[in-house]
Amino acid sequence: MNIDKTLLFIIIANVLMSLKGFNDRLFFDKYKFQIGAINRGEKIRIFSSAFLHVDYLHLILNMYVLYVFAPQLIFTFGVIQFLIIYVGSLLAGNLFTLIFHKNELYYSAVGASGAVAGVIYAAILLNPNMSLIMFPLPIPLPGYVFGVGYLLYSIYGMKKQIGNIGHSAHLGGAIGGYGLVLLLNPSIFLHSTTTVLLLGAPIVLLLLFGDKLKN
């Protein structure tokens, strides 16, 4: 499969920024997501942190998932609208994290996971019956089942602070991808109504009762 130039550019940017961060701790600390620094005015971190990664496995996993799912969006929407979904999901993930962890001044994070989550959810809305595997389950699940399960897991992960994982960025990115793809292609409401409603239900509950997650 020929890789689109825009997608290739995004992957290369992630690789170069991450490699720089692996070898230059000052660079990493300057551009990572950190609540206190962002509150002091370093807004660039909201964007730049999405091109840094913790280690090679983190980088490779995110770029592989992006490589798998992005071409469908590029083919369907074109490059400009794909970029809107990618960057919009990136910002949604980090802004959601900023709001959720606003009182944790030392909270920090890196990674393209929010943007990638948005791409995955946009792809699920386009093809609800695609087969996806949710670790540790050994069987493939329909895309819409995976989508609902992952949203619920992310909400639970935020509540319980499970692992060294940015659940809030994943969740915010997924919500961004969900909302943007529906804005860009409202006809999805007609041919994937059930999936739209199933994925939308946890999002609506989160928006209504999200403050309870901190209690």
Work out the number of other CB atoms within 10 angstroms of the CB of residue 78: 13
Q: What is the tens place of the pLDDT at every residue in 14-35? A: 999 999 999 999 999 999 999 9
Average pLDDT over residues 162-180: 81
Domain that holds residue 175: 5-214
List Cβ neighbours of 43 (8 Å cut-off, separation of 6 or more): none
User: How many structural domains does the chain have?
Assistant: 1
Q: What is the pLDDT of residues 43-89, one digit of tens each?
A: 999 999 999 999 999 899 899 989 988 999 999 999 999 999 999 99
Are 85 and 73 within 8 A, CB to CB? yes
**Which residues have C-beta within 8 Å of that of residue 74, sequence separation ≥ 6?**
4, 6, 7, 82
Structure tokens at 126: 């386009």
The CATH number of whichever domain residue 87 belongs to comes to 1.20.1540.10
Cross-strand bridge partners of residue 131:
142
